[in-house]
Structure 1
Amino acid sequence: MDQIRNQALLSEMGIERWSLLHPDRLQGYQPESLIIDSNIKLLFVSQALPQGSEALFMQKVIQGAMSLSLEYCRHIQPNQFTQLGEHNLEWVWFCGCEPQSTNISKALHSPLLTEIDGHNQNRRALWEQIKSYE
């Protein structure tokens, strides 16, 4: 009953999903592995999910340079990356956050999308990273 009430409270506040920021501070806590669907090829790691013009710009990048569509992408926050379980990922894109050690062969690191769109130097740097994997 308490769980249902807690979910109702979170829903009223507009919170659909939550996770602990510092699970290591809870003694004995083991976070669940983050399950990534087998069809997901790009993991977008950033503090915020792209919205509006940022999402459109991201879509242009992944369609044009990576030949992927949004249905093959998933967003997670940087603190969730260590919980990554088994996956079939080809790409990981650390956007506006520090890159983390990974066994994913195609890893990108860039500033925030707002700092790439309309900024030729940052756009060229991202393009060069993507093309280096061809």
Structure 2
Amino acid sequence: MSPQSSAYLHEMGIDHFQLRHPERLAGYTPSELILPESCQLLLVSDHLPVSQTATLFENILKAMNLTLAQAAHIYPHQLASLGQHQLNWLWFAGCEPLSSLENTHVLTSESLTLLDGDNQRKRALWQQIRQYQSS
């Protein structure tokens, strides 16, 4: 991005942006998605956790002995662009598991919105987590 474009975005209060459907751009070639080395859990979901769902996400991470700094979120269509990673956990929340990554524990659940306040769904997720942790 040019410095002038960056300055315009900064003036508008936009720190970063992400195209929802970059594949619709003519000539677009997806770049490889690189996660930080500290990332241990990747949440694949149609919705970015915000407000109440972000709090729920953070509480689930704490129960797994992980921090927000050790987790990341991507949209399902971005999974194909994932490059080298150090992930231990791949969590599909509210979407179909598209694939599994080598040497990762795959979790599936309802969306975070549906998990919030539903103890039965949270228990089912926790059972998956405990199953992997005990093996």
Shorter-chain TM-score: what band?
Answer: 0.7 to 0.9
Deviation at 1:19, TM superposition (A): 3.1
The secondary structure found in structure 1 opposite 2:98 is: coil
Correspondence for 2:58: 59
Correspondence for 1:86: 84
Correspondence for 2:67: 69
Correspondence for 1:114: 113
Structure 1 gap segments, 5+ residues each: none
Q: Once the two structures are aligned, what percentage of the paired residues are identical?
A: 36
TM-score calculated relative to the size of structure 1: 0.82
Q: Provide the rounded CA distance (Å) in 2 between the counterparts of 1:114 and 1:44.
A: 14
**1:1-134 correspondence to structure 2 within 5 Å:** 4-5=4-5, 8=8, 12=12, 16-19=16-19, 21=21, 23=23, 26=26, 29-64=28-63, 66-104=64-102, 105-134=104-133
Q: Provide the rounded CA distance (Å) in 1 between the counterparts of 2:129 and 2:26.
A: 39
Deviation at 1:17, TM superposition (A): 1.8
Structure 2 gap segments, 5+ residues each: none
Deviation at 1:77, TM superposition (A): 1.1
Number of residue pairs the alignment of both structures matches? 132
Alpha carbons of structure 1 residues 55 and 9: separation in structure 2 relative to 1, 3 Å:
closer
TM-score calculated relative to the size of structure 2: 0.81
Deviates more, 1:111-120 or 1:80-89: 111-120
